[in-house]
Copies of this chain bind each other. A is one copy, B any other.
Amino acid sequence: MFSPLIKELMESLRCLPGVGPRSSQRMALHLLEKDRDGALRLAKALIEAAEGVGRCHSCRTLCESQLCDICSHPGREKATLCVVETPSDVMALEQAGGFSGRYFVLMGHLSPIDGIGPDDIGITDLLDRVAEDKVKEVILATNPTVEGEATAHYIAEELKSMGVEASRIAHGVPLGGELEYVDGGTLAHALAGRRKLEL
């Protein structure tokens, strides 16, 4: 029904996560009817980002320079390193505030079933960096999923043999949540991880 160029645009839009046939049609027609400048700007941004963005040489996050803003910031402590799975996790932690150390972005997690081993998530680089920067504490902030936990454990074991302290972010009841609606696993973690009230 639509002409080839429009069909190809609809097809290509489906590479975006969460975009199915209906939304891709809506997006394609919106751009063609009302925002061709936006379409051209998006095309330029896509090409520049796809060709220009690489990895930070220090923390492996996505960025186009050798070092990302955080790794090149002189005020960030080298002695504390927070290990996360993705660049979005860095963003979330930075927005939460309160962390003044540096990050290491695995860009994934261990997943033997998908053939993702320690080398694919840069564990060697991580251990090299820990040794090089004389890191005192590594905070493991991988996701609280089976793969995330396994990855955290694997890294903790490796660090133990190097004599470096590893900690895991706390799991428990989220702020603003109601106990009634929190799942059993989380509640068990919250109980096991209870802290003495210091009054």
Contact = CB atoms under 8 A, between A and B. Distances in A.
Contact of A9 (B1, B46, B88): B46
Q: Of A2, A16, A29, A35, which is in contact with the most chain B CB atoms at under 10 Å from its CB? A: A16
A35 B42 CA distance: 16
Nearest to A10: B45
Q: Of A11, A36, A68, A86, which is in contact with the most chain B CB atoms at under 10 Å from its CB? A: A36
A115 interface: no
Interface bin, chain A: 35 or more
Q: Of A18, A68, A95, A107, which is in contact with the most chain B CB atoms at under 10 Å from its CB? A: A18
Contact of A42 (B13, B52, B62): B13
A-side interface mostly: helix
Interface in A4-19: 4-6, 8-9, 11-13, 15-18
A77 interface: no
Interface string A104-117: 00010000000000
Given A8-B45, A46-B9, A50-B43, A27 B33 contact: no
B53 A3 contact: yes
A130 to B, nearest CB: 23
A80 interface: no
A79 interface: no
B45 A3 contact: no
Interface of A: 1-6, 8-9, 11-13, 15-18, 23, 25-33, 35-36, 38-53, 62-65, 68-70, 86-88, 90-91, 94-95, 107
